[in-house]
Chains A and B, each alone.
Chain A
């Protein structure tokens, strides 16, 4: 199987032993784009390159970064850049690598973005549990300040910017941009209602704020160095550049890969020797998650689809945060569905009733099926509760809630119950999974979960 190739952009230093240090970064071409931007480009020109690149945000929603940057109201200062390093969507593993292995690349991207946005302070918010990433970023930031890449009069120009490194303390919902802003203000991480609290207009401290994902900003030095047109020529016109995907689950060689966006297919990632090298034990795909726990599941008929945003959106799911989870023919779909729902039930911030109550009920109903106490009416009940969180159980989801977390809990139900209804019925009737699938709790069903 031949796979499309492209340049390694953001993972280019992953094999460089000292790529995370200032010396290693500069030796491998680092901070050239920043120097170029502040010495020979206007903020508007930098913004124009990012627009021309048509880079879609890598945090989940895939909104074009250049367009988002244009939403800042003119003449309102101070304005802020907030970097979302909270990576916690189940299956997602790429921002942590970017922060640990190439922290200067992210810092360079942040400073260039601040230049384009006319912002003078950025807040880099890292997930609390990522001690090593925090360490590497602190080290890199201290070096970058010492070398005049951050701080006053960067590279001898009249541009000045500060980066404040900070981290959370364990809460998935803080990855949602308005909850992250609340957390940065020292509050409980509960989302704000949009409208009116669109960050670009009323964000951090009610000032204009751009929130971008780590991977999005890590691409900025390349875009400014080579030009937006170069970036756009990689991948597909509808999904530009290179993109990182973490492929986990039942594959022979799980891994994180930077691949040409929009043209690589799911099958290539699962089967090509350069990537995962096939399904474990020579098995086959029963279902897979294309973009994180919040996404609708895909099935074997979707394998040849390209990882292209509009294509995947149209097929009824999303590429989300680049988290692909493969499930082979032995997977217990009731248990898989339950585990994802339990995640959302645990992580609901509790602000809206349909989400707080609904996710908890969904989890309990699925749990009792697994425990052998399922009732015949339970499948209908799952759909009924799902309806109250996300009317119509459609894609893209409609929501009765403040943020999309609640409706996300409906995705695994809509996916698994619709496709594998017989497995749920079998659990209810026979108190065990169908033949040929393995319960993940084989040794201790009663004591746990």
Chain B
């Protein structure tokens, strides 16, 4: 799809300003692209390369290492079901199986209407609340087949629109503060000397 919007370019510049080196902003900028389009589009990667003085291949080189970045459209709601050890011990595979039947897709697939993607994922740090899942990185704990169905119904009917933003949006609050140091190394040494 698209390059980053003007508003996102402004945000990108703020983010770049918080790092001593431009390339450090690469992963945050990829998240901005995914937030805009629901996935990381090729044009967006070219745009990010321009913003960071990188070759597009360097952008893709880093992006492709990370599981969360998608390079093709996925469902509006990505449901990640943990099947790691603590969840496996209390029925995660049965839950995944149920999810597949309910949505008529296999793990990794997307429903025809583009609404849901399901994935079998590694531990999501909710092990005491197993079996656990995330929908667009928002948690659901101690999930049963019944509560899974209720979740799908609520997502379909739009009941959770406020709580679960479309795929790609992570934090709804951003850091707004900016760092303004001319030469951090020298200033830091001066702080030490002054004490």
Verify that A and B bind, or say they do not.
yes
Q: State in angstroms the CA–CA spacing of A343 and B120 once bound together.
A: 11
What is the number of residues of chain B that contact chain A, defined by CB distance less than 8 Å?
A: 72
On whether the beta carbons of A132 and B85 are closer than 8 Å, the reply is no
Q: State in angstroms the CA–CA spacing of A132 and B175 once bound together.
A: 14
Does B188 lie at the interface of the complex (its beta carbon under 8 Å from any beta carbon of A)? yes
Closest partner residue, chain A, to B89 (CB atom): A249
Closest partner residue, chain A, to B54 (CB atom): A186
CB-CB under 8 A from B19, the residues of chain A are 164
Closest partner residue, chain A, to B178 (CB atom): A162
Does B104 lie at the interface of the complex (its beta carbon under 8 Å from any beta carbon of A)? no
Query: Which of B1-43 touch A at CB < 8 Å?
Result: 18-21, 23-28, 30-31
Which among A5-13, A90-98, A303-311 touches the partner chain? A90-98
On whether the beta carbons of B31 and A247 are closer than 8 Å, the reply is no
Given contacts A79-B188, A188-B61, A444-B97, contact A142 B175 (CB under 8 A): yes
Does A183 lie at the interface of the complex (its beta carbon under 8 Å from any beta carbon of B)? yes
The 0/1 profile, CB within 8 Å of A marked 1, for residues 46-69 of chain B is 000000100000000111011111
Residue from B63, B86, B97, B186 within 8 A of A90 (CB atoms): B86
CB-CB under 8 A from A190, the residues of chain B are 65
Does B191 lie at the interface of the complex (its beta carbon under 8 Å from any beta carbon of A)? yes
Does B84 lie at the interface of the complex (its beta carbon under 8 Å from any beta carbon of A)? yes
On whether the beta carbons of A87 and B125 are closer than 8 Å, the reply is yes
Residue from A130, A171, A447 within 8 A of B66 (CB atoms): A171
Which among B109-117, B126-134, B153-161 touches the partner chain? B126-134
CB-CB under 8 A from B194, the residues of chain A are 158
Does A340 lie at the interface of the complex (its beta carbon under 8 Å from any beta carbon of B)? yes
Does B123 lie at the interface of the complex (its beta carbon under 8 Å from any beta carbon of A)? yes
A-B CB pair tally, cutoff 8 Å = 225
Query: Which of B131-174 touch A at CB < 8 Å?
Result: 134, 136-139, 169-174
CB-CB under 8 A from B62, the residues of chain A are 186-188
Chain A: interface residue count, which band? 35 or more
Closest partner residue, chain B, to A441 (CB atom): B93
On whether the beta carbons of A254 and B191 are closer than 8 Å, the reply is no
Does B124 lie at the interface of the complex (its beta carbon under 8 Å from any beta carbon of A)? yes
On whether the beta carbons of A151 and B172 are closer than 8 Å, the reply is no
On whether the beta carbons of B27 and A43 are closer than 8 Å, the reply is no
Query: Which of A421-446 touch B at CB < 8 Å?
Result: 440-444
Query: Which of A82-106 touch B at CB < 8 Å?
Result: 87-93, 95-96
Given contacts A336-B85, A440-B93, contact A186 B23 (CB under 8 A): yes
On whether the beta carbons of B191 and A159 are closer than 8 Å, the reply is yes
Residue from B25, B128, B191 within 8 A of A246 (CB atoms): B128
Q: How far is the CB of B34 from chain A (nearest CB, A)?
A: 9
Q: How far is the CB of A439 from chain B (nearest CB, A)?
A: 9
Which among A51-59, A118-126, A232-240 touches the partner chain? A118-126
Q: How far is the CB of A224 from chain B (nearest CB, A)?
A: 17
On whether the beta carbons of A254 and B129 are closer than 8 Å, the reply is yes
Q: How far is the CB of B142 from chain A (nearest CB, A)?
A: 10
Top 6 nearest A-B pairs (CB, nearest first) are A170-B67, A169-B66, A186-B26, A186-B23, A170-B68, A134-B171
Residues of chain B touching chain A, judged by Cβ–Cβ distance below 8 Å, are 18-21, 23-28, 30-31, 52, 61-63, 65-69, 80, 83-86, 88-94, 96-97, 106-107, 122-130, 134, 136-139, 169-177, 179, 181, 184-189, 191-192, 194-195
Residues of chain A touching chain B, judged by Cβ–Cβ distance below 8 Å, are 42-43, 75, 77-79, 87-93, 95-96, 118-121, 127-132, 134-135, 138-139, 141-142, 145, 150-151, 158-160, 162, 164-172, 183-190, 205, 246-250, 254-256, 289, 293, 323, 325, 327, 331, 335-336, 339-340, 343, 346-347, 349, 440-444, 447-449
